[in-house]
Amino acid sequence: MVQLYKMAWRDLGRNRRRTFFSILALAVGVGLLLFMASFIAGEYRGALLTAIKLDTGHLQVRAASYNQDKTSLDFQDLIENPDALAAQIAAHPEVLAATPRLYVTGIVAVGDTSTGVRIIGIDPASPASAPFRDSTVAGSYLTADDRSGLLMGKTLADKLGVGPAATINLLVNTSNGSVDQQAFVVRGVYNTGVPGYDESTVFMPLAKAQAIAQAENHASAIFILLKNQDLTNAMAAALQTPAYQVVTYVQLNDLLFQVEQFATSYIYLLYLIVLAITATVIINTLIMSVFERTREIGILSAIGMRGSRIMAMFLAESSLLAAGGIALGLALGALAALYTGAYGFPIGNMGITGVLIGERIYAYLTVGDAVQLAVVALIVTLLAAVYPALLAANMEPVQALHGGN
Residue by residue, pLDDT tens for the chain (405 residues) are 677 667 667 767 777 888 888 888 889 989 999 998 899 888 888 889 999 999 999 999 999 888 877 788 888 889 999 999 999 999 999 999 999 999 999 999 998 889 999 999 999 999 999 999 999 999 999 999 999 999 999 999 999 999 999 999 999 999 888 899 999 999 999 999 888 899 999 999 999 999 999 998 999 999 999 999 999 999 999 998 888 999 999 998 888 888 777 877 777 788 788 888 888 888 887 777 777 666 666 666 666 667 677 777 778 878 888 899 999 999 999 999 999 999 888 876 655 555 677 778 889 998 988 998 899 888 888 888 887 777 766 665 545 455 554
**Structural domain contains residue 59:** no
> What Å distances lie between residue 60 and 66, 206, 208, 235, 258, CA to CA?
11, 17, 21, 11, 20
Domain boundary among 241, 267, 282: 241
Residues 169 and 279 in one domain: no
Helix/strand/coil for 376: helix
Residues 276, 270 contacting (CB under 8 angstroms): no
248 inside domain: no
Same structural domain, 134 and 181: yes
The answer to whether residue 247 is domain-embedded is no
Residue 58 lies in a domain: no
Looking at the structure, tell me whether residues 130 and 183 fall in a common domain.
yes
End-to-end CA distance of the chain: 31
Answer whether residue 198 is part of any domain: yes
| Extended strands (E) in 140-274 | 149-153, 167-173, 179-190, 201-205, 218-219, 221-226, 244-248
Q: Is residue 249 part of a domain?
A: no
| Alpha-carbon gap, residue 235 to 224, rounded angstroms | 10
**DSSP state letter for 347:** -
If asked whether residues 340 and 286 sit together in one domain, one would say yes
331 CB contacts (<8 Å, ≥6 apart)? 31
The domain of 23 spans 2-51+256-401
Q: Is residue 14 part of a domain?
A: yes
> In 3-state terms, what secondary structure has residue 405?
coil
pTM of the model: 0.80
Domain count for the chain, please give it: 2
Domain boundary among 241, 276, 293: 241
Q: How far is CA 131 from CA 141, 306, 365, in A?
A: 11, 70, 25
In sequence order, which ranges of 293-366 are alpha helices (DSSP H)?
294-302, 307-343
Helices (H) and strands (E) in the chain, counts: 14, 14
Last residue in a domain, options 182, 206, 241: 241
* Residue 60 belongs to a domain: no
Residue type, 175: S
Bridge-partner residues for 275, per DSSP?
none
